[in-house]
Amino acid sequence: MRAAVLRGGRMVLRDDVPEPVPGPGQVLVAVKACGICGSDLHFAAHGAEALAAGAQMEGMPGLGDPVDLSADVFMGHEIAAEVLESGPDTDAPPPGTAVTSIPVLLSATGVAPIVYSNSVIGGYAERMLLSAPLLMPVPDGLDPRHAALTEPMAVGLHAVNKSAITRGESALVLGCGPIGMAIIAALRLRGVENVVAADFSVTRRRLAETMGAHETVDPAQRSPFDGAAPAVVFEAVGAPGILNDIMRRAPAHTRIIVAGVCMEPDTLVPFYGAPKELTVQFVFAYDAGEFAETLRAIADGAIDVAPLITAQVGLDAVGEAFEALSRPDEQCKILVTP
């Protein structure tokens, strides 16, 4: 079987991956589309740092097996697929059903995220395993390529839900990559009446307007904090220095939602936040209800993901797609279609 794997910091094609075999509670699926996530790009570039930080983190149970960067790493978690067969004694949709899923593989030995793994195959492959209890059938008529974007769009909905923003409050979204776009779409879904988005890329600013931003700002021309004071600022950049700069410039009592995942050490000046009584909320992923709501919104047309898809590649071009996504004026979301 063919799959694109991370090897030595680059995505390469393998044609000798063993066929996955579904166990109890699992299904074998044919991948129809898998979005390339910014977290995959970060891991390819900063995998060692990310694994080291994860090893030092306390307060969360370990999930999955340790990752060995000297061996091939499977990735790809923004998935739409077709059921091929079910494992033993498994209640699952019949073969031929189009599905998406929260990217977690359940087995008799534990729980493994479908994110980065030496053994759990992800969506950059012809076939993979999914968990039957976590499958969500794709509504009839919905393009599998659009269904694949349920996962990243659910991240945006979770961030907006955590912010507790109301329709009459103003929102500022910093960074118009895929997660910033997902946040903008979720703000539009929630009916927020004043959404400002900031990005250096003119292409992404235009796309932000398509996704629902009422105003866009080029930070090279003026500060995104000029004008109406935002009640909520969404950080969707994930680079060192961004959060501290937001704390320095945000108005008093601003709620700051950190959706960008910074993989590197950063520095904050607590004094920026104390006198202004800022609230900083870190967010990650989503819950099952948010995932299901996002799929329904995409199917109903309340969230239009089509403008986000800027390219489509096969497994043999995943490496080139990773490189292309480093140029924000050219690409937003690239889908892998095995």
How does pLDDT run across 2-31, given as a tens digit for each residue?
999 999 999 999 999 999 999 999 999 999
The yes-or-no verdict on residue 169 having pLDDT over 70 is: yes
Report the Cα–Cα distance between both ends of the chain, in Å, rounded: 11
Max mean pLDDT among 51-65, 189-203, 318-332 falls in 189-203
Which has more pLDDT, 70 or 52?
A: 70
What pLDDT digit, counting tens, does each position of 67-91 carry? 999 999 999 999 999 999 999 999 9
User: Please, what is the average pLDDT of the chain?
Assistant: 94
What's the rounded Cα separation, in Å, for the pair 240 and 154? Answer: 25
Question: At 115, is the pLDDT very low, low, confident or very high (cuts 50, 70, 90)?
Answer: very high
pTM, 2 dp: 0.95
**Residue 33's pLDDT band (boundaries 50, 70, 90)?**
very high
Would the pLDDT of 1 be above 80?
A: yes
- 130-134: average pLDDT: 97
CB 74 within 8 A of CB 3: yes
CATH class of 152-282: alpha beta
| Average pLDDT rounded to a whole number, residues 150-176 | 98
The CATH H-level (homologous superfamily) assignment of domain 3-149+305-336 is Medium-chain alcohol dehydrogenases, catalytic domain (3.90.180.10)
Least confident of 211-220, 258-267, 298-307: 258-267
Lowest mean pLDDT among 9-18, 30-39, 54-63, 170-179: 54-63
Q: What is the pLDDT of residues 261-283, one digit of tens each?
A: 887 789 999 999 999 999 999 99
Retrieve residue 226's tokens.
């000029």
Q: What confidence tier does 63 reach under pLDDT thresholds 50, 70, 90?
A: low
Distance CA 311, CA 329 (A): 13
Q: What is the pLDDT of residue 62?
A: 59
**Per-domain boundaries in the chain:** 3-149+305-336, 152-282
Task: Specify the pLDDT at position 61.
Answer: 63
Tell me what pLDDT residue 326 has: 82
pLDDT of 57 higher than 70: yes
Residues β-bridged to residue 173:
197, 234
53 pLDDT tier (thresholds 50, 70, 90): confident
Average pLDDT (103-127) is 94
244 pLDDT band, cuts 50/70/90, is very high
Percent of the chain's residues with pLDDT above 90: 86
Instruction: Give yes or no for residue 48 having a pLDDT over 90.
Output: no
